Chains A and B, each alone.
Chain A
Amino acid sequence: MTVSELGLAGRIRVGVIGTGAIGQDLVSKLHRSPVLECALVIGRNAASEGLAYAARLGYPVSDGGIDAVLAADRPFDVLFDATSAAAHAEHWRLLADVPTLLVDLTPSKIGQMVVPTVTGVGGVTGRDVSLISCGGQASIPVAHALAERFAVDYIEVVSTVASTIAGRATRLNLDEYVATTQHAVTTFTDVAETKAILNISPAVPPATFRTAVHAVIPGADVAGVRAVVDEVAARVRAFAPGYRVTACSVAGERVVVSVEVTATSDVLPPYAGNLDIINSAAILVAEQHAARLSPAAGTGARA
């Protein structure tokens, strides 16, 4: 096969649908990936800032929405879906017969749920991966670690996102955010009673993304909790370097762990750690998929 038939230098073909802040940051992260080729960025508005950004970086763009994906001359290996929960359900239906791995950044709850430090990124078996929600990506590592180490009676995750980066789809998808995040917390902690809450902060300057994990843990000790949490935070920092524990409090059986995440991104402001952590997880999933499609992809030679 020729180099062009192989794709650029053996990279796998990745499409991005959705041109809001998540979509733009994904494009910037693809731009830095040695194994992922940004083959098309798809929006629905030719004048959108997201399409203009992708075009400036030299990537093909389309304002044709999902039709542009279906019309592509050959399937994408991976399609990042940064639209909305309802749109993702429709995309999943339309792409049922296309051999593309869908990596879902909406809270649609359709695909196989991945939290890198909990599930790993190598065990993807279906064709739809759910990144759950930004609050899920930030809170579940801590919630899961606490549930592994202690007998937890109840767990609750409360995230706060800056208003300036909560786009329209996020605002219309609060119900799905709550349901999907809670479902994931229950699944990964095996705690029967859980709750998820999202606050949107209007503070100026914007507030750094944060998540509080509340838990009822009879007999918890602060040193034990702190050790568990510090260990898991270090593992999350391997792919989301702005992840840090800001407070850890134990009062009787009530435990509160607060985490802040700052963004490391070419396009996001530092406070937008919510988008950075979910997108970094999505990139890990895609890079792992690249390695599976082509074990030599990382060296630039596709089998």
Chain B
Amino acid sequence: MTPVVVHDPTLRDGQHAVRHQLGVAALRGYAEAADAAGVPVVEVGHGNGLGASSMQVGRAAVSDDLMLSTVREALRRSKMGVFMLPGWGTSSDLRKAIAHGADVIRIGVHCTETSLAERHLGWLAEQGAEGHCVLMMSHMASAAELASHAAAAVGYGARAVGLMDSAGFFLPQDVTSRIGAIVAAVDVPVIFHGHNNLGMAVANSVAAAQAGARIIDGCARGFGAGAGNTQLEVLVPVLERTGFSTGIDLYGLLDAADFAERELMPAPPTTGTLSIVSGLAGVFSGFKHQVLDASTRAGVDPRDVFFELGRRQAIAGQEDLIVDVVAELGRTAV
């Protein structure tokens, strides 16, 4: 059996599904359950990471400080992970997270903008921290481009590097070629983080592991934006059956997922109309709530809004474009 590290961003990426409103009891309860199951890394934060509570994406119910101290206290065996987007959070957020006991610090960048992470990855390496780099919206670049950006991230100091399929656009063969190219280009563990817009998240994650990825992300009940992420409690047994060991206790994992369904979300994510459309349009699923709100107010079709955002190549973080696109479609409609 080949070991893979399962990385669980339920308490970070799941925030997108509930407008960043997870409370302290939910954070503590899920972290304890994941820890008891032996999930290696539990990631926590606002959906867009440290320092990202904002009107642009959504203001969080709980401060970064309180989220991190709550989850830190709840974890005995699991490492605590955090996420940060340069331009949203800053080095001072990273310093605070390390002071709170964060073990794994992921720097996210659009997949062709790795140099935005140069400073932060370098600083993390200087601190001796475990800095990872994740290339977001990775369907927007070729395998060769992704490999060269991944190699650059390792040069900056990343101790793991990989892909987020932020729009849930990939099919398994897309993942195989891209992860394969990265595995060939770097000598650090490679990460895959799937989204389920087209129902492919578990299949894509297995393809990633088979192509050499050694850190695979999954969220309880798929808790995440839109159609959700790779469903953790499905991912783990499927990985085990395909020859990868995770070290996670199955019953503990199922208990954690039951807790998540009961306490974290009004309902588990489903592949609704807008999730399919955002996947096809290649737009980050996290735009869903705002697209729906603005489209409803203006009386335009939210599907048109997603396809227009895709045409404009909106990347994660560009939620401010929604208002402009809705206004423009509203004008052309009358």
Do A198 and B87 have beta carbons less than 8 Å apart? Answer: yes
Residue of B nearest to A179 (CB): B90
B165 to chain A, nearest CB (A): 17
Q: Is the interface of B mostly helix, strand, loop or mixed?
A: mixed
A203-218: CB near B (< 8 Å → 1, else 0) gives 1100100101010100
Query: Considering the chains assembled together, what is the distance between the CA atoms of A18 and B87 in angstroms?
Result: 23
Do A163 and B112 have beta carbons less than 8 Å apart? Answer: yes
Identify which of A177, A210, A256 gathers the most chain B CB atoms within 10 Å of its CB.
Answer: A256
Query: Considering the chains assembled together, what is the distance between the CA atoms of A172 and B86 in angstroms?
Result: 10
> When A171-B115, A171-B118, A204-B313 are in contact, do A160 and B110 touch as well, CB less than 8 Å?
no
B210 to chain A, nearest CB (A): 29
Kindly list chain A residues whose C-beta atoms are within 8 Å of the C-beta of B54.
156, 158, 195, 197, 214
Query: Considering the chains assembled together, what is the distance between the CA atoms of A199 and B55 in angstroms?
Result: 15
8 Å CB contact of A163 from B90, B113, B297:
B113
Do B313 and A201 have beta carbons less than 8 Å apart? Answer: yes
A157 to chain B, nearest CB (A): 10
A174 within 8 A of B: yes
8 Å CB contact of B119 from A175, A202, A214:
A175
Kindly list chain B residues whose C-beta atoms are within 8 Å of the C-beta of A163.
112-113
B262 within 8 A of A: no
A3 within 8 A of B: no
Query: Considering the chains assembled together, what is the distance between the CA atoms of A69 and B103 in angstroms?
Result: 46
Q: Residues of B within 8 Å of A, CB-based: how many? A: 29
A188 within 8 A of B: no
Residue of B nearest to A200 (CB): B113
B116 within 8 A of A: yes
Do A210 and B313 have beta carbons less than 8 Å apart? Answer: no
Residue of B nearest to A210 (CB): B320
Kindly list chain A residues whose C-beta atoms are within 8 Å of the C-beta of B293.
251
Query: Considering the chains assembled together, what is the distance between the CA atoms of A44 and B190 in angstroms?
Result: 38
CB<8 Å pairs between A and B, sample of 10: A160-B318, A175-B91, A198-B87, A199-B315, A199-B317, A201-B313, A201-B315, A202-B112, A210-B320, A258-B323
Q: Among residues 24 to 61 in chain B, which have CB atoms less than 8 Å away from a CB atom of chain A?
A: 54-56
Kindly list chain B residues whose C-beta atoms are within 8 Å of the C-beta of A258.
320, 323-324
Residue of A nearest to B117 (CB): A171
A37-63: CB near B (< 8 Å → 1, else 0) gives 000000000000000000000000000
Do B323 and A256 have beta carbons less than 8 Å apart? Answer: yes
Identify which of B140, B293, B320 gathers the most chain A CB atoms within 10 Å of its CB.
Answer: B320
Given contacts A160-B320, A171-B119, A174-B86, 15 further A-B contacts (CB under 8 A): A156-B56, A163-B113, A168-B115, A174-B119, A177-B87, A178-B90, A201-B315, A203-B312, A210-B320, A210-B324, A212-B320, A246-B327, A249-B327, A251-B297, A256-B55
Do B56 and A247 have beta carbons less than 8 Å apart? Answer: no
Q: Among residues 156 to 182 in chain A, which have CB atoms less than 8 Å away from a CB atom of chain B?
A: 156, 158, 160, 163, 168, 171-172, 174-175, 177-179
